[in-house]
Each structure stands twice: as C-alpha cells, then as structure tokens.
Chains A and B, each alone.
Chain A
C-alpha cells in the first residue's frame, strides 16, 4: 500500500483500536490484525500493567499512537510536561506517525476532557496551525490532525469546516486523519452535504482514516463509537479511498465494546474498498 510523507510512507492496511477487554483474546488467538491504534494517554504512565501490555502487543504488532488531549486549538501555550511524556512514549512505540484532534479543550491548565469544536475563524487557523508545527517539530515525526464531530456551531465562524481544515493543514504542513463518521455526524447536525466535505479534502495529505458507528438522538447525532458502521458512512469512506488511494484505516469502537471478532469483522469490511483502490492504482 503506497503511503505518503504524512504517514512516513507506511503500508498499514486495516487496523482496530486497542481496547483493554480484548487483551486476553489478542494474546491467546493472535488475530491477523495489520496494526493497532493505541490511545497515547492510556500509556503515558510510569509503569505497571498498561506498559507491560503495550510491550507484549508490540512484540507481535505494529502500533500507531492516537491522542485525545493535545488540544491543538486551545488558545494558550502548549503543556511542555505533556509533550515530554508524549515524546517518551513515541520513542518507546516507534509510532511512524501520530494523530490527535483538530479541536480545543483546555483553558489555563484546566481540562474539559472533551473534544470541543473550534470556531472557523482566521485567528483560529493561525493559532492552531502554529501549535501543530510546534508539536510536530518537538516530536520529530509526522503529525496528523483529525476532524471532530460537533453539536454546536459558532456565530464567529467565517468559513466552512472543510475550508478551515484545508487552511490549517496547509499552514501547518501536516497530515490529516480523516474520520468519515465524524463528517457524517457533523453533516446531520449542521445540515451540510458530507460528500462535498469529502470532495474538498486535500487528498495528498490524508495519512489515515477512521470509521466508526454512532448513536442517533431525536434532534442530533452523538459520536459514541458504540455501533457498527452505517451505509452512508461506508459511502463516504468509499469516496475518500477513491480520492486518496489506499490509506491506513482504523475502526473505532469505544463503548459497549463487543467481542474482538465482532470488531475485527466490522473493520475488515474496509478491506474490499482498499483492495479495489489498489487495483485502480495498479492499472
């Protein structure tokens, strides 16, 4: 699988998110998963079972780090202690690239632990891009930013979400972790055409993709990662793969976690899209 400079030219295929309830199954059955995505924060500890389990996983599998608390869009200076701990983990895992979200979530060192959407303003473009560059320089590996799902829009916004994404990644010269489920969720919550979003993404910068399920409420959709992937999301994924070529793809399943086999079977549905894209690329 052809990579690009945003995923260090790696050939990762379909992976799944590493989750604690699946450890035993993975060690026992050694499923033929191409790679695991790990949540960095779960392993940014000093010792104990988390790191021991990670080391065991790394004996057999490639892992890629995904973070949830970098908050590239928080307006204040980066937390240096956090960055140092993250870099220590990067050295341990040898992750070829690393992702976190295009969002904010902390003020004055107080953390919301949520992925709060940014206003799509030029000020946010500049500040966020500068922060991504800073993090990328510090970690010395490619960084990809993930589009989040959102339930609120801002009165200040001056552009669409995909325009904002384009401006940020261009200025930061970073990769994109394209989450097609998040695009779908936001398109319903904000009444836009998700295909228009997918078509506007700078394909050459997509380092990785996320697919996931979600929960539907009466007036909005919540991105809960607790269901199988729905057909409209597969359609977005197909289009994204069509545009970007075969891309490392990961299924997220964070809540009401079913058996490993069920998660893996759902993830493998992505393979046929990747194979098809590869065949097109080979012609």
Chain B
C-alpha cells in the first residue's frame, strides 16, 4: 500500500487499535466492517521473522485497551468494586467505544461517564442507582482535585450582599443530590482499595474482582465535594443549602436563589435568618463563594 497517505494510514491504524479486544484479550479476527484484520494489518504493517503483521498490530491494540481501562479504573475504583471487575470492564469498553478520549490528557477520560451511564442502565448491574451515585461522587473527586481556585469573596464583600447580588461558586466545589449516602460507600471502598494495594505491594494489580457486598440503604443525601489546602473533603449539606448554592451557580440573584433554596423547606420563616447566617459563615470559611463569572470575551 505505498500510495496510502500518512493521514489515511493513521486513520486506518487508529481505528484498528481502538477496536475492542476479544474476551481473551486478543485482537479480533474481523473489524466491524467485516474486513479480516490480517488483511487490514498487512496494508501498512510489515511482519518480521517472529511476528506477523496481525500480531504486531495486536500489541498496540492490547496496549490501548489496557491503558485506557486502567486509567478509567483508577478514576472509578469504588464503581469498579460495586459492579465487580467483569461488569466494570464491559461498561468501560462500551463507554469508551462511544466516548473515546477527546483530550490530550487521560484526566478527562471519565467526563462523559455519568451521562452515558444514565442512558445505559443495562450496564449498571442490580444496584443501578447506587452505581450511578458512586460514579457521580468519584467524578466529583476528579473535578475537585485539580480544578482552579478562584478568589473567594472577602468578609466586606459578603457584608455588602443584597437580594439582587449575583455570586459565583468556587471552581473546585462540586454539588450532588444523591439517592444514597454514596460518600460513605466511596470512602469505605477507597479504604478497601488502599488496603488491597498495601497488602499486594506497591502496585495494585487490576485483577478479577467480584461485586462487593454492601449494606447500604436509600437515603436522600446532599453532598459537597471540595478542596481545602490541596486535600479533598466531603461535606454533607442540607437540602436547602444545596438548592440555594445550585441556584446561585445557575446565575440567579441572591434573593431568588434563597427562594429556590427554601422551597418545600421544613425550616420555618422565623428560623431562616439564623440558618442563613450559619450557612454564609460556613461557605465563606470554605471559600465557596466568589464573584460571578464574567462572560468571556470572544
């Protein structure tokens, strides 16, 4: 195939490399178009006396999947334990087929996973909602870990707030409304993960793993995942705090955001000023409030 352009060759090869492996982790005999992979490989890969063109291409095909499945497993270790390794791998392969990496960094590999999981409950095993919550908490950790740090509002600026004020939220702050207390589940499973790692040596092998037995009941939970001094923290918040903060994040003025925050609240009007004072003290102390995002100039 001497006439093949560099771009055509690269497109052909990347498609081959990104093809899912067989259950035995070998390269498939045929691609989705029905072409024999031995023929596809021979179009551009030269054999040597030890390896055929197919076998040489297969090295890259395997490397691709081992690397990407490993990276996704590192970002979602608790999800992997909830689903078990087999189901997790099946989910990861199906997800990555639809959402291959579109970023120069593997950090963003799981960005579309939660949205994809919502559309594909068939991959989530028996505890679908729990799996989804766990994935949401783990992705929130990825975001909170290295998102930017915006300058927080000063005490003076907070003192000047009024009903029409618009506020921004700290870039690393992630707010979640969950069906389960999934933060506890993730903490527990991350601990088991670390224990497994230290017992198995410095490098936890991505070995086969059955779904973990978990004793957890549904309970609506509002969670903030955020960073302080470089470390990640979970902080349970009230429904009202969650509703207020997410309303502020959507760009509502403070008065409207509080209206949204106290919707269907059991906190009576008389208790609200005290509650508000407490919230703002916490939020300011954690640097969660910032100036509103200014429209970026084109």
Residues of A bordering B, CB below 8 Å = 21, 41, 44-52, 69, 74-76, 79, 82, 104, 106-114, 116, 119, 121, 123-124, 127, 151-157, 189-191, 219-220, 222, 255-257
Contacts and interface: CB of A to CB of B under 8 A. Distances in A.
A49 B68 CA distance: 23
A49 B172 CA distance: 12
Interface of B: 1-2, 4-7, 9-11, 13-14, 17-18, 42-46, 48-51, 53, 55-57, 59-60, 63-64, 67-68, 71, 100-107, 145-149, 171-172, 202-203, 227, 230-231
18 contacts: A45-B146, A47-B147, A75-B7, A107-B11, A107-B14, A111-B103, A119-B6, A119-B9, A121-B6, A123-B6, A127-B6, A151-B51, A152-B45, A152-B59, A154-B46, A155-B46, A157-B46, A220-B51
Contacts of A152: 45-46, 53, 56-57, 59-60
A124 B6 contact: yes
Given A41-B107, A154-B9, 12 more contacts: A44-B104, A47-B149, A49-B145, A79-B104, A110-B18, A114-B64, A152-B56, A156-B1, A156-B4, A219-B51, A220-B50, A222-B59
Which 3 pairs from chain A and chain B are nearest by CB?
A46-B148, A75-B7, A48-B146
A110 B14 contact: yes
Given A127-B6, A155-B2, A191 B17 contact: no
Contact of A49 (B63, B103, B146): B146
Contacts of B102: 109-111
Nearest to B67: A113
A153 to B, nearest CB: 4
A187 to B, nearest CB: 12
Contacts of A151: 51, 56, 59-60
B148 to A, nearest CB: 3
A229 B46 CA distance: 29
B107 to A, nearest CB: 7
A73 B205 CA distance: 33
B104 A155 contact: no
B67 A191 contact: no
